Chains A and B, each alone.
Chain A
């Protein structure tokens, strides 16, 4: 089995996985598998949200084992989930084939969500029933944006310690874009595909029963109302948590700082890319007129007819190539940048939740210490439970962080190489056009010389 298969395709999603495989990347990832199940943590999370959660589902990678390992050998633990993630790829999801539905009440788009479960690739020998929740090897359902939104909320509620990949923005930017235009639907579809692939590739999230329901159930609508309610409860809870931390571990501080800087750089790149598109479209306008002038010149010439027509033709070809470049960049490049801005937001959100969890623990610990000094009672169980929870959080977060970093690296590698490819392609088209013109004109010249000598 190939080690180090990169996870997470860039949202263009068109390249086969093999193409982004880099020989160097394989060496960096050691082989090791370690998964333990902590049912308790999951149950706890489920209960706080008031959502019934199937306890049978394997959940957080955090455990006592992990915690110990974290203390002893931080490096190894940090690496673990990343390595592991490369080997759990047995669930293949695709979002495609958008369809428009028009009813009297509303118009909306559904997407086909196809799932393939590969039992042969079942990686966890220690978990003999890896994908038991999937009865069939293949599923195919149709989902609309709302359903994806439902899934994301469910995931966020049931796996609060994990980074949930972002969905494309619900509301269209500045409201100018037509929600049903082919371009918009295509871009959104790619982003949804990306989201679902990220979830399905995640060693923990991919076992989430809500994902299972999303991928397999014929009808999801009944649960919709509940989801919205819990979302409100969640956000209220977040606002309430305004306590100060005593000391945030340095690594999480660094994460926060990294995210801020990265966010800022992405913003700059986004602005540059948009500015380039604007400059290019203005250039295109002028270039089109430029070609027209050559064409209009043809009328007053005899001998120069062919060269002038040729130049006009080349300019037209270049216009076409440039138009393609602009379209590709605005469809493949910009949405990925925006997705990453949202991804950063999700990551920050998890960091915030971790801080809250630490603060809660610290608060309880302080209270317990105070009481201990007074009546010498042993440390209450709930404080220990809180400590467990923080450590779960830390471990999950670090694992997700590594995964996120690795995804990011792959995605940007692909995104930027794609940008280079698009530009190269543009130049190649222009070059070919000009070269064919020269061949044509030089042939004509030798032809003329031949006829002269004859």
Chain B
């Protein structure tokens, strides 16, 4: 399936999934854990149909190989019986463009838990799994992950109505420019600055603090789970593969046996089958790992919302503090008493009191500033309340989604385990039959 030729420009190699059947793509949608029939998804079907490897020059004129993903959209009107569905609109996007989209959403909607992208590089891999970004299996899993990301955004009440998102799906050319025009880049910088700053909120919202704490816990436990699962996969792989040696030795042994020979020989084949079966089993299990990974990355999105809330709360508190200070100053000025030690108070004591006019103009300025401050505080208060309202609504939505998704992921994991057991029983029963014939 792969025929990469890095020598020529724009050489196209198709990686996986081009010959996907309709039932398979149906399954893919089921696998991606998104409820259908929500805002944008009600109007159109979205899927990442295939991935391609491309070689080309990048901005600094360096040769590079990258993967592009084909996004297909089609109107979700009901296809009449026997009629052919409308041909989809399709366009290619790189992973970096998905990243840009996500950053844009993250900055534009700080009160929303933005769905995470699939990992850029394979993490928590067990030894057999390739960590190569161009590995067909990895690309295929990422294709599923990217589709899942789009479906999650498209099913979100707020995000799905975003214009940039719509353009991402519909305009191949000029999309990047359109994103940059929004000026979100400036917000990125200020956002990053504020997020890295250390600040302490006096009156934190208990719910957000708890949510942040929870997302930390979830992050810890899922990463631990993924780490251990990788080790478990590694060991299980070993157990199965060592059984493959029986295949060889039974076959060699059968050569010197008369009555037992045939039974041994065919039992050996079953042992080979057993050893080989683990590849598919673990490949399938990677899907479960991907589901867990999505929630591992979600924890960052949750933390980001909580952090943003803290920031607004901090700004609010600073404003309030400032206002209190200004009011105090005004009082001092009006009564002439110094309650708080200040440099100004000192200078006035040292260099004599200021004139009446000076005092009055200062008082007026302060009053003006207090009025403004009160106005800003009011605005900030409203902003904060709004933020809390919308953010908490989204957090509630997220919690529900998480419980449902992870529950289903656990059930599908159990089903996988059952299928592994069934395979094992099948192979060993076949082998047993051969042994019995000996």
A contact set with B: CB distance below 8 Å = 22, 258, 261-262, 265, 268-269, 272, 275-276, 279-280, 282-283, 286-287, 289-290, 293-294, 296-297, 300-301, 303-304, 307-308, 310-311, 314, 409, 412-413, 416-417, 419-421, 423-424, 426-428, 430-431, 434-435, 437-438, 441-442
Contact = CB atoms under 8 A, between A and B. Distances in A.
Interface of B: 214, 217-218, 221, 224-225, 228-229, 231-232, 234-236, 238-239, 242-243, 245-246, 249, 252-253, 256, 259-260, 263, 267, 403, 406-407, 410-411, 413-415, 417-418, 421-422, 424-425, 428-429, 431-432, 435-436, 438
Nearest to B248: A268
A297 B225 contact: yes
B228 A409 contact: no
Given A258-B256, A290-B232, A409-B259, A311 B424 contact: no
Given A276-B243, A437-B414, A427 B424 contact: yes
A424 B418 CA distance: 13
A303 B407 contact: yes
B221 A293 contact: yes
Contacts of B415: 434, 438
B129 to A, nearest CB: 16
24 contacts: A265-B249, A265-B253, A265-B256, A279-B235, A283-B232, A287-B235, A290-B225, A293-B228, A303-B403, A304-B403, A304-B407, A307-B410, A308-B410, A409-B259, A416-B431, A427-B425, A427-B428, A430-B421, A431-B425, A434-B417, A434-B421, A435-B418, A437-B414, A438-B418
B245 A262 contact: no
The B contact surface, by secondary structure, is helix
Nearest to B239: A279
A304 B217 CA distance: 14
Contacts of A272: 242-243, 245-246, 249
A300 B214 contact: yes
A283 B239 contact: yes
Would you list the 7 A-B pairs with minimal beta carbon distance, nearest first? A420-B432, A431-B421, A283-B235, A303-B403, A416-B435, A427-B424, A265-B253
B45 to A, nearest CB: 27
Nearest to A430: B421
B231 A441 contact: no
A333 to B, nearest CB: 12
B88 to A, nearest CB: 34
A430 B417 contact: yes
Contacts of B239: 276, 279-280, 283
Contacts of A283: 232, 235-236, 238-239
Nearest to B249: A268
Nearest to B432: A420
B435 A420 contact: yes
Contacts of A417: 432, 435-436
Contacts of A314: 414, 417
A303 B432 CA distance: 44
Contacts of B260: 409, 412-413
Given A304-B407, A424-B425, 18 more contacts: A265-B249, A269-B253, A272-B242, A275-B242, A276-B243, A279-B239, A287-B235, A301-B403, A304-B406, A307-B410, A409-B259, A412-B260, A424-B428, A428-B421, A434-B421, A435-B418, A441-B407, A441-B410
A275 B243 CA distance: 9
A431 B418 contact: yes
B117 to A, nearest CB: 24
A273 to B, nearest CB: 9
Contacts of A426: 424
Most chain A CB within 10 A, of B214, B252, B422, B428, is at B428
A22 B246 CA distance: 25
B243 A282 contact: no
Given A286-B231, A290-B228, A307-B407, A424 B436 contact: no
Nearest to B244: A272
B128 to A, nearest CB: 14
A424 B422 CA distance: 9
Contact of A416 (B231, B245, B410, B438): B438
Contacts of B411: 307, 438, 441-442
B431 A420 contact: yes
B397 to A, nearest CB: 14
Most buried by A among B231, B232, B263: B232
A406 to B, nearest CB: 9
Contacts of B235: 279, 282-283, 286-287
B410 A311 contact: yes
Given A287-B232, A416-B435, A441-B407, A428 B425 contact: yes
Nearest to A307: B410
Contact of B436 (A307, A413, A430): A413
A223 B406 CA distance: 74
A22 B428 CA distance: 20
A432 B175 CA distance: 53
A408 to B, nearest CB: 8
Contacts of A421: 432
A417 B260 CA distance: 13
A416 B221 CA distance: 42
Contacts of B229: 290
Contacts of A428: 421, 425
A280 B435 CA distance: 23
A178 B85 CA distance: 75
A269 B268 CA distance: 12
Contacts of B421: 427-428, 430-431, 434
Nearest to A415: B435
A423 B214 CA distance: 41
Contacts of A442: 411
Contacts of A413: 260, 263, 435-436, 438
Contacts of B267: 416
Nearest to B218: A300
B414 A434 contact: yes
Nearest to B437: A24
Nearest to A300: B217
Nearest to A259: B256
Contacts of B225: 290, 293-294, 297
Nearest to B227: A293
Contacts of A303: 403, 407
A423 B259 CA distance: 25
A194 to B, nearest CB: 19
A316 to B, nearest CB: 13
A431 B422 contact: yes
A417 to B, nearest CB: 5
Nearest to A426: B424
B292 to A, nearest CB: 11
A160 to B, nearest CB: 27
Nearest to A428: B425
B274 to A, nearest CB: 9
Contacts of B245: 268, 272, 275
Nearest to A302: B403
A283 B438 CA distance: 32
A269 B246 contact: yes
Nearest to B253: A265
A325 B218 CA distance: 34
A311 B407 contact: no
Contact of A261 (B238, B256, B431): B256
A431 B432 CA distance: 19
B256 A262 contact: yes
